[in-house]
């Protein structure tokens, strides 16, 4: 349980930072498609007998490349939809061939707190740190590009490179979160808290910090509730995140930042 607590905290830190940009760039679909599309990676890894994490990471990278390529042809939502469908279809095939148990499939999709060991914890810690560092590195140009791409390109930013960097960070942060929160619900940890944060402040960086704070509270309550009721943690993450959004709307999403971001 202690492992789950530490890992979930690390995941929430990364998810809060990235979620701020997911909301600002309205990339909720990509944030949903990347982790869910990485799910067949876990099935492939178990077929080949390697650590699940490498499968997830591999398919996340593939997802970034596929969405990036398909975006050049059509719109981003079409690109996300097609990548997601293709990856999942492959996942169904791999599951079918490997004959994995329904229980472990469920754990991958909706999260499993008990299956976390020390090595996994170290991997998650390393990659959460990397995610936060990368966010800090590209935060300024990325925010400028999210608010006004014209301004950003005038300031010398390259829109396509930034989009690529954003998708990469998104993939990184979601791949580590999949075994804990589940591929289905990683994104709700990003969307709900970050959208609620907009209702509290007009300043972008303060909103980012608030988003991380709400994320932490959401994850901690979800784990505590899951522990008490023995119900899946994904359920509480999903429901609490949408409460965050509703609370934000009710408090008044009319601040200046809510208008632009």
Partner 1 sequence: MGAISAFGLMGGFWSNQPVRVALAVGGGAALVCAVVGLSTVMRRQAFAGHALADVSGAGGSAAYLLGINPLFGFLGMAAGAAGVMEWAQVRDARERDLLTGVVLGAGLGLAALLLYLDMTVRSVSGAAITVLFGSMFTIPPSIVPVALAVAAAALVASALIFRPLLVSTLSVDLARAQGVSVRTTALIHAMALALAVSLSAMTVGAILSTALLIGPAAAALRVARRPASALVLAALIGLVATWGGIALAYQSYYWTPGRGWPVSFFIVMLIICAYLVASGIARLRAGAPDAPPLSGCQEH
Report if residue 188 touches partner 1, rule: CB under 8 A.
yes
- Residue 54 · residue 43 · CB < 8 Å: no
- Residue 255 · residue 201 · CB < 8 Å: yes
- Residue 164 · residue 64 · CB < 8 Å: yes
Task: Say how many Å lie between the first and final Cα of the chain, rounded.
Answer: 37
Which residues from 124-163 bind partner 1, rule CB under 8 A? none
Could you say which of 231, 250, 251, 254 contacts partner 1 (CB under 8 A)?
231
Report if residue 29 touches partner 1, rule: CB under 8 A.
yes
Report if residue 18 touches partner 1, rule: CB under 8 A.
no
- In whole angstroms, the minimum distance from the beta carbon of 43 to partner 1 comes to 12
> What burial letters (b/e) apply to 60-89, b meaning 16+ CB within 10 Å?
bbbbbebbbebbeeeebeebbbbbbebbbe
Number of residues that bind partner 1 (CB under 8 A): 56
User: How long is the chain?
Assistant: 261
Nearer to partner 1, 53 or 83 (CB): 83
Report if residue 220 touches partner 1, rule: CB under 8 A.
no
Report if residue 102 touches partner 1, rule: CB under 8 A.
yes
Nearer to partner 1, 125 or 217 (CB): 217
Could you say which of 110, 127, 166, 200 contacts partner 1 (CB under 8 A)?
110
- Tokens 């077929």, residue located: 47
């Amino acid at each position: 349980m202690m492992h789950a607590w530490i890992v979930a905290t690390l995941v929430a830190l990364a998810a809060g930072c990235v979620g701020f940009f997911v909301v600002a760039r309205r990339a909720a679909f990509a944030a949903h498609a990347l982790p869910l599309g990485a799910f067949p990676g876990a099935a492939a890894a178990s077929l080949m007998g390697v650590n699940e994490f490498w499968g997830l990471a591999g398919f996340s990278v593939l997802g970034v490349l596929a969405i990036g390529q398909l975006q050049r042809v059509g719109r981003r939502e079409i690109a996300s939809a097609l990548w997601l469908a293709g990856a999942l279809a492959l996942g169904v095939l791999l599951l079918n061939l490997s004959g994995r148990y329904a229980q472990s499939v469920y754990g991958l999709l909706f999260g499993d707190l008990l299956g976390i060991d020390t090595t996994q914890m170290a991997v998650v810690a390393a990659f959460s740190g990397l995610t936060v560092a990368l966010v800090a590195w590209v935060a300024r140009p990325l925010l400028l590009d999210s608010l006004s791409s014209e301004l950003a390109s005038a300031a010398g930013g390259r829109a396509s490179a930034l989009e690529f960097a954003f998708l990469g960070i998104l993939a990184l942060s979601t791949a580590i979160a999949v075994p804990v929160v589940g591929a289905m619900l990683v994104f709700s940890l990003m969307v709900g808290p970050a959208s609620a944060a907009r209702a509290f402040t007009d300043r972008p960086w303060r909103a980012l910090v608030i988003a991380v704070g709400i994320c932490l509270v959401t994850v901690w309550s979800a784990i505590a509730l899951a522990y008490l009721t023995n119900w899946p943690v994904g359920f509480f993450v999903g429901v609490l995140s949408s409460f965050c959004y509703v609370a934000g709307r009710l408090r008044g999403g009319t601040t200046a930042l809510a208008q632009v971001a």
